[in-house]
Structure 1
Amino acid sequence: MKQLSLKANMLWNSFGSLFYSGCQWLVTVMVVRLSTSYETAGVLAVAMAVSNVFAQIALYRMRSFQVSDIHEEVSSGEYVASRFVTIGIGFIITCIYMVLTCSPSAFLATVLYLVYRAGDVFIDVLHGVDQQHYRMDYCGKSMTMRAAASTFGFCLVLELTDSLELAIVAMIITTYPVIAYDVRCSSRLSNVKPEFDAKTIVNLLSTCLPAVIGMSLCSLVVSFARQYLGSTCGDASLGIYASICTPIVIIQACANYVYAPLLGVFAKDVDERSNSSFIKHLIRVLAAMMGIFLAGAVAFSIFGDWFIGLIFGERLVPYGYLMYAGLLCSSLTACVAFLGDLLIALRDMRGNLIANVIGCIVSLPVTMVMVSAFDMNGVSYSISISYLVTLVVMALRLSRIVRHFSDNCSE
């Protein structure tokens, strides 16, 4: 099977991911437009936040590990089998978390959204196979199909029934058939039939466990801040905050698309002891991410209020000020994701865990103080402070690795 160039892989991944993120954001817009109250948007925001905890556990940070497994020490079938295991574990843990932290009125919608996200999580391991073999055109096409189908199904059913739960069911029904397409595409590149080798799966899960815990705590920073806002200020406040700040996530996603296809390249640089190439790729990624967020800041400062009025209507324009703190929060979130995945690719699972534990501990008191002082903006402020602390620790770990790498290269 012919491989695509790195540039082509980045373009396909960026297009598919951006379209998918745009449709996810459109869902949060349409739930405001089509539902009869802000509470529905608030419940969806809670379901999405809880599903992020599930995704962190079920994904198990295995994609970063998988695509940086340049010698394929673990087979594709073993990665697929491991994903079934992690989805089951993630579902159980997240349901317990949901019962302990969410209002009972949000239980059904949250469970259904977890089922929807489970399909995405499974497809992700197949996209890891595609990325390993430089065929991310399969990823881009899959994300485009799933995003279009789920958004259409959600909007149609919500308009007809005014039921959030039935609208999420429609997302499940319209996206699960795409799994067959992904299985067929990945099968052309490698044997993706599940291989349930207990020793390999346990070893893989234990190796990635510190990073999983770390990135789950990273996601918990956002989930806790949003849920705290909802519990103290009401679902309506959470719905407004989520609606205003979700468009910014598209910019954050663009930054993620810059580095995701390069994780295998970073691992290859280390494997080949190419210090100069590693530093060059690192600088380019950071510069590109900085450029994306500066462009986003300029665009929001000029067109932000107009954009909100166009998409959400005039009733949300007075809340446009939430975008600016949200943009800062989003930029720091993208940087944490990049350095976290880079530490995984470099097999520093312990560093990933330490950084995120510290950031999560900081977030608990900071969230309470910031939300009390700044209301909805306090969510962005608390996440930003927590992630800034996380970034400092991650940067120290990375600098330690680079120094050690440089010393080995000079010997």
Structure 2
Amino acid sequence: MESKSLKSNMLWNSVGSLYYSTCQWLITVLVARLSSGFDAAGILSIAMSVSNIFSQIGLYRIRSYQVSDIHEEYSSREYVGFRLETIAVGFLITIVYALISCSLEMLVPILLYLLFRAGDTFVDVLHGVDQQHFRMDYCGKSMLIRATLFLVSFTIGLAFFNSLNVAISGMVLSTYLAIIYDITKTRGLSDIRPSITLEKSKRLLLTCLPAVIGMSLCSVVVTYARQYLGEACGSSALGIYATVCTPIVIIQACANYVYAPLLGIFAESYDTGRTSDFISLLMKTLFALVVIFAVCAVGFVMVGDQLLGFIFGPTIAANGNLIYAGLLCSMLTALVAFLSDLLISLRDMNGCFIGNLIGCLVSFPATHILVSQFGMNGTSYSISISYIVVSIILLFRLVRLVKPKAIA
């Protein structure tokens, strides 16, 4: 089947991802608009945050490893089989975490949202196969279909049943139905019947484990900060914070659109010793990330308060000052994600682990001090400080990898 150009792949990935992220954001708008008070928004925020821990385990950073597997160490069947294993393990671990750390009223929404994310996580490995064959148009179309279906399902659940659980259940059902499209398209590119072998699974498990633990700790930074805000200031405060800051997630996702299709090219440039090409691509990518967030920052300064007031109403608009610290937090989150994925594509799993571990350790005292001092904004401050530390360490590791090749 004919491959698409890099430009076409990036375009389809960007359109699909932007639409998907926008629909995810619209869910937080709907839950704030269609529910009485902000408790449901707070519960949904916790469910989303907890699901990030599952996502890190379920994804197991295999997408970055998979698309940079230029020597084809593993087959598509083995990647798919391994993904099913990590989804099962991630689900069990996250349920245990939820039972220990969350209140009983949150368990059902968390479980349902985990089921939704499990479908998302499975599709990701199929999209990895699509990307390897330069057919990210399949990825874009898949995201358009799934986002439309889960947004409609969620709206019906809230509007007609006034139930967050019913709304999330609709998302689960629509997502699993839409997976049929991905399976149909991807199996035309490669054999994707799951292959699970102990030897290959063990090798992938051990190879990516440091990076997986590191990125899970990266997620804990955000999850812990939000959970602490909810405990210290109540579900309503958490709901307000999550509602104001969620639009920024769309901007954060834009960063992923820039670098995700390039990871294989980064890996190939590094592997073949084309250091100047690698550095040039790195600088262009970092510049693009800065431009994205600079433009968005100017936009929020100009119309942010009016936009929040129009979409969410006066209560949220009164807390519009939260968006600026949230934007800084989002930019640093995107930077950490990019640098972590880049180190994974260069096979420096330990570097990814060390950087995110130190950032996570910094976040615990920072969250207690800054949330107590600054309230809702303290959540963004603590995450930002933690991710600044992570970014510095990851950049140091990247320089250590590339410098010897540049000298040679």
Residue of structure 1 in register with 2:134 after alignment: 134
Cα distance in 2 between the residues matched to 1:50 and 1:252: 19
Taking the TM superposition and a 5 Å limit, the aligned residue runs for 1:25-64 are 25-64=25-64
Cα distance in 1 between the residues matched to 2:256 and 2:84: 25
Deviation of the 1:295 alpha carbon = 0.1
The C-alpha deviation readout for 1:261-319, integer Å capped at 9, x for no partner, is 00000001012211111011101100000000000000000010110011101221110
Residue of structure 1 in register with 2:17 after alignment: 17
The C-alpha deviation readout for 1:355-397, integer Å capped at 9, x for no partner, is 0000000000000001000000000000000000000100100
Deviation of the 1:111 alpha carbon = 0.3
Residue of structure 2 in register with 1:3 after alignment: 3
Deviation of the 1:249 alpha carbon = 1.0
Checking the alignment, whether the CA contact within 8 Å between 2:241 and 2:376 is kept in structure 1 is yes
Consecutive aligned runs of 4 or more in structure 1 exceeding 6 Å deviation: none
2:166 maps to 1:166: yes
Q: Which letter maps to 2:42?
A: G
Checking the alignment, whether the CA contact within 8 Å between 2:14 and 2:254 is kept in structure 1 is yes
Taking the TM superposition and a 5 Å limit, the aligned residue runs for 1:207-286 are 207-286=207-286
Q: Which letter maps to 1:146?
A: R
The C-alpha deviation readout for 1:134-157, integer Å capped at 9, x for no partner, is 000000000111011001100111
Q: Which letter maps to 2:345?
A: A
Checking the alignment, whether the CA contact within 8 Å between 2:251 and 2:292 is kept in structure 1 is yes
The C-alpha deviation readout for 1:176-231, integer Å capped at 9, x for no partner, is 11111111111111110111121011101110000000000000000000000001
Cα distance in 2 between the residues matched to 1:399 and 1:305: 40
Residue of structure 2 in register with 1:94 after alignment: 94
Residue of structure 2 in register with 1:176 after alignment: 176
Cα distance in 1 between the residues matched to 2:317 and 2:271: 51
Residue of structure 1 in register with 2:395 after alignment: 395
In structure 1, the residue corresponding to 2:254 is in which secondary structure? helix
Residue of structure 1 in register with 2:113 after alignment: 113
**TM score, norm. by length of structure 1:** 0.99
Cα distance in 1 between the residues matched to 2:290 and 2:182: 33
Residue of structure 1 in register with 2:83 after alignment: 83
Residue of structure 1 in register with 2:362 after alignment: 362
Cα distance in 1 between the residues matched to 2:405 and 2:2: 33
Deviation of the 1:405 alpha carbon = 2.0
Q: Runs of 5+ in structure 2 lacking a partner?
A: none
In structure 1, the residue corresponding to 2:355 is in which secondary structure? helix
Q: Which letter maps to 2:287?
A: A
Deviation of the 1:346 alpha carbon = 0.2
Cα distance in 2 between the residues matched to 1:180 and 1:120: 13
Q: Which letter maps to 2:393?
A: V
Checking the alignment, whether the CA contact within 8 Å between 2:77 and 2:194 is kept in structure 1 is yes
Moved more, 307-316 or 277-286: 307-316
Cα distance in 2 between the residues matched to 1:156 and 1:405: 56
The C-alpha deviation readout for 1:60-117, integer Å capped at 9, x for no partner, is 0000000000121100000000001000100010011101111111000000000010
Q: Which letter maps to 2:389?
A: V
Cα distance in 2 between the residues matched to 1:299 and 1:131: 32
Taking the TM superposition and a 5 Å limit, the aligned residue runs for 1:296-307 are 296-307=296-307
Q: Which letter maps to 2:5?
A: S
Q: Which letter maps to 1:33?
A: R
Cα distance in 2 between the residues matched to 1:191 and 1:302: 51
Cα distance in 2 between the residues matched to 1:118 and 1:70: 27
In structure 1, the residue corresponding to 2:194 is in which secondary structure? coil
Moved more, 154-163 or 207-216: 154-163
In structure 2, the residue corresponding to 1:196 is in which secondary structure? coil
Q: Which letter maps to 1:218?
A: C
* RMSD of aligned alpha carbons: 0.6
Checking the alignment, whether the CA contact within 8 Å between 2:68 and 2:264 is kept in structure 1 is yes
Cα distance in 1 between the residues matched to 2:403 and 2:305: 46
In structure 2, the residue corresponding to 1:236 is in which secondary structure? helix
The C-alpha deviation readout for 1:11-56, integer Å capped at 9, x for no partner, is 0001000000000000000000001121011000000000011000
In structure 2, the residue corresponding to 1:106 is in which secondary structure? helix
In structure 1, the residue corresponding to 2:318 is in which secondary structure? helix
Report sequence identity in percent.
Answer: 57
Cα distance in 2 between the residues matched to 1:209 and 1:198: 16
Q: Which letter maps to 2:229?
A: L
Deviation of the 1:158 alpha carbon = 0.7
Taking the TM superposition and a 5 Å limit, the aligned residue runs for 1:334-349 are 334-349=334-349
Q: Which letter maps to 1:265?
A: I
The C-alpha deviation readout for 1:220-258, integer Å capped at 9, x for no partner, is 000000000001100000000000000011111101110
Residue of structure 2 in register with 1:203 after alignment: 203
Checking the alignment, whether the CA contact within 8 Å between 2:276 and 2:406 is kept in structure 1 is no
Cα distance in 2 between the residues matched to 1:193 and 1:352: 31
**TM score, norm. by length of structure 2:** 0.99
Q: Which letter maps to 1:110?
A: I
The count of aligned residue pairs is 408
The C-alpha deviation readout for 1:323-375, integer Å capped at 9, x for no partner, is 00000000000000000000000000000000000000000000000100000
Residue of structure 2 in register with 1:374 after alignment: 374
Q: Runs of 5+ in structure 1 lacking a partner?
A: none
